[in-house]
Amino acid sequence: MKSKLYKKFRASKYSHPTHMIKGSGNAKGKTVVGTESALQEIQQKLGRTISVHHIEKNKGQWIFCEKKGA
């Protein structure tokens, strides 16, 4: 059933996993969260920024919900 309140944009968790970047020497590593890279890809495809109200997490997808009319 379609939502009457939200526009939903989906991205795969398998193509945007959360992963660690290892640093070498004095450089520190960092954790790259999958939702950040997924949101950047969706915004790039749409050509605009999304005002994310909340994020739903299914087994294989990140779902970004934006309020309709916003």
Q: What is the pLDDT of residues 35-66, one digit of tens each?
A: 999 999 999 999 999 999 999 988 899 999 99
Assigned domain for 33 exists:
yes
If you average pLDDT over residues 16-44, what whole number do you get? 89
- Long-range contacts of the stretch 43-50 (C-beta < 8 A, 24+): 46/9, 50/9
Assigned domain for 53 exists:
yes
Q: For residue 70, is pLDDT > 70?
A: no
Assigned domain for 1 exists:
no
Number of structural domains, the chain?
1
Assigned domain for 11 exists:
yes
8 Å CB contact between 61 and 45: no
Structural domain containing residue 46 = 6-67
> Rounded to two decimals, what is the model's pTM?
0.77
pLDDT value, residue 11: 94
Assigned domain for 39 exists:
yes
Assigned domain for 18 exists:
yes
Q: For residue 21, is pLDDT > 80?
A: yes
